[in-house]
Structure 1
Amino acid sequence: MTSTTPAAPPSALDLPIPVRWTDLDAYGHVNNAAMVRLLEEARIAAFWQPPAEQLALGAPVPPAALPVGGSGAPVSTVIASQRLEYARPLGHRRDGVVVRLWLSRIGGASLSVEYLVLTRDDPEGRAPYVRARTVVVLVDAATGAPVRLAEEARQQLLRLQGEPLRFRD
């Protein structure tokens, strides 16, 4: 573990995410825009509740559902900021990656989501490929105004809270 990688909380989520052939750039590395999509897939898997009809068909239940939904839901999310720091190139991996995810801040209407992009041969996260943070804001889908996180959701999310990543200057 490097000095810029604090220990994730014991309850951090390790989410397997596939790396697709189309994620690669001309140099054979996962493209920076594709990396943002990999983080998005992890965030969706962790927090976004599928509609009831999809759950009935076997869609996975997220480990920590936010009070948001898809099209037509009263509450949605927007990304307020995103920072990625690449430690080394990531090539195509048939075994995919593991995105370790936790929360460093739970605000009134926003969350800071921390990520480490790892591979299965480095479960301790000693040499992550990417360190990242996304600030997610809950908003009223009709007006775009911030919506406070309900106390029940806040309590559920507290188990994922840990130290923020430290980035290079």
Structure 2
Amino acid sequence: MPRHRVHIPLRWSDADAYGHINNVQFLRLLEDARVTALGVDLLDHARRPDGGALMVSRQEIEYLAPLAFRIPPIGIDLWVTRIGAADFELAYEVLDGEPGAETVCARAETTLFSFDLDGGRPRRIDTATREKLTGWIDGPLNWKRRRREPQAAR
């Protein structure tokens, strides 16, 4: 199954004065989900025999519904939408509610690239990483509010 669901607990400090999870905290939730899903072996250069690392080069997020603080963890679905020579895109849906009746609170996409820490530059994604990511490929993220064409300046 290309999409992976991880369950991430919320922290009391994630909530703003209105009792909703603060927009900035969503990026932390995405990071927690990404680390949980990809595993430390792909992300931690100290554990990789080749000394490489994955770095974030872009993140985009679309907030769709408020997410209120709660004790049970939330669900975050992740999947790969594109794999390039040195980078890939990881999509997310942040979910609230009971299984089968979830509300999508946010959609997001992160571009990650393989990085050679010793050389200080991007490098090709290694075979093992590419194989793992290929098993996660699913369709593109369906942005709700993205403009399809740039608007002319007024």
Structure 2 length normalisation: TM-score?
Answer: 0.84
Equivalent pairs: percent with the same residue? 33
Q: Deviation per CA, 1:26-70, whole angstroms, max 9, x where unpaired? A: 1211111111000000000111325xxxxxxxxxxxxxxx3x424
Q: Is the 8 A contact 2:3 2:136 kept in 1?
A: yes
2:136 aligns to what?
160
2:77 to 93, 100, 110: 100
Report runs of 4+ in structure 1 exceeding 3 Å deviation. Answer: 70-73, 122-125
Q: 2-side partners of 1:42 and 1:92: how far apart?
A: 17
CA distance, structure 1, for counterparts of residue 35 and residue 23 of structure 2: 19
Question: What CA RMSD, in Å, does the superposition of the two structures yield over aligned residues?
Answer: 1.8
Instruction: Give the aligned residue type for 1:78.
Output: M
Q: Who is 1:31 aligned against?
A: 22
Is residue 2:33 matched to residue 1:12? no
Question: Is there any run of 5+ residues in structure 1 with no aligned partner, and where?
Answer: 1-9, 51-65
Which consecutive unaligned segments of at least 5 residues does structure 2 have? 147-154
For residue 156 of structure 1, report the CA deviation from its aligned partner. Answer: 2.0
User: What is the alpha-carbon distance in structure 2 between the residues aligned to residue 123 and residue 30 of structure 1?
Assistant: 22
**One-letter amino acid of the counterpart of residue 25, structure 1:** D
Report the 3-state secondary structure (helix = DSSP H, G, I; strand = E; otherwise coil) of the residue aligned with 1:38: helix
Cα gap change, 1:161 to 1:96, in 2 (>3 Å): same
1:132 aligns to 2:108 (yes or no): yes
3-state SS, counterpart of residue 24 of structure 2: helix
Instruction: Tell me if 1:21 matches 2:12.
Output: yes
User: How many equivalent pairs are there?
Assistant: 143
Does residue 121 (structure 1) correspond to residue 88 (structure 2)? The answer is no
Does 83-92 or 114-123 show the bigger shift? 114-123
Letter of the 1:156 partner, please give it: K
Question: Would the alpha carbon gap of residues 72 and 156 (structure 1) be closer, same or farther in structure 2, given more than 3 Å must change?
Answer: closer
Cα shift at 1:12: 0.9
Q: Does 1:69 align with 2:60?
A: no
- Give a deviation string over 1:61-114, Cα, whole Å, max 9, x none: xxxxx3x42458511122111011010110102112101000000111111000
Question: What is the distance in 2 between the residues matched to 1:44 and 1:100?
Answer: 13
The structure 1 residue matched to 2:67, chosen from 87, 90, 97, is 90
User: Aligned partners of 2:47, 2:99: CA distance in 1, in Å?
Assistant: 40
Q: Provide TM-score, normalisation by structure 1.
A: 0.77
**SS of 1:34 mapped into structure 2:** helix
Counterpart of 2:60 in structure 1: which amino acid? Answer: R
- Mapped to 2, the partners of 1:131 and 1:140 lie a distance apart of 30
Question: Larger deviation: 83-92 or 134-143?
Answer: 134-143
